[in-house]
């Protein structure tokens, strides 16, 4: 959990209904990029407000729920890999349930076939 988020959650001036966490949610301190990738790889569902994590979720073949009102990775939404739910509690819950049952085909090559470096080198040689 981001330190600013942890601070907000610990703020006693918030109304009791403002934020409620399910008892089976385990909060951890921030992790390194490589640890985050390992957590992502071993997850069932990614929930984020980060643009970069949305794309990482696709690469890890994990359904994603994005708690923002828009995304720069529209193709992840149109392909059924990602759902934009904003900050609305009901949409977050229903979107999470829907994406847990996601049957998206993650074999699609939304971002090329991994040969960009080779093509660049060949172009520079020419």
Q: What CATH number is attached to the domain comprising 110? A: 3.40.50.2000
Q: What is the pLDDT of residues 105-121, one digit of tens each?
A: 888 888 888 888 999 99
Rg value, the chain, Cα: 18
Q: What is the pLDDT of residues 44-64, one digit of tens each?
A: 999 999 989 999 999 999 999
Q: What is 16-48 written as a DSSP string?
A: TTS----TTPPP-----HHHHHHHHHT-S-EEE
Please list the residues that pair with 47 across neighbouring strands: 65
Q: How many CB atoms lie within 10 A of CB 32?
A: 8
Q: What is the pLDDT of residues 65-77, one digit of tens each?
A: 999 999 999 999 9
Q: What is the pLDDT of residues 78-108, one digit of tens each?
A: 999 999 999 998 999 999 999 999 888 888 8
d(CA 80, CA 82): 6
pLDDT over threshold 50, residue 17? no
- Total domains present in the chain: 1
What pTM does this model have? 0.77
Which domain covers residue 78, as residue numbers?
3-125
pLDDT of residue 20: 54
């Amino acid at each position: 959990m981001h330190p600013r988020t942890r601070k907000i959650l610990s703020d006693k001036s918030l109304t009791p209904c403002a934020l409620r966490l399910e008892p089976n949610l385990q909060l951890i301190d921030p992790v390194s990029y490589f640890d985050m990738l390992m957590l992502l790889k071993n997850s069932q569902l990614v929930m984020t407000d980060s643009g970069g994590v949305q794309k990482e979720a696709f690469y890890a073949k994990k359904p994603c729920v994005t708690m923002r009102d828009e995304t720069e990775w529209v193709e992840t939404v149109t392909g059924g890999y990602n759902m934009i739910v904003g900050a609305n509690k009901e949409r977050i819950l229903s979107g999470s349930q829907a994406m847990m049952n996601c049957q998206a085909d993650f074999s699609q090559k939304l971002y090329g076939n991994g040969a960009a470096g080779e093509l660049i080198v060949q172009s520079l040689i020419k």
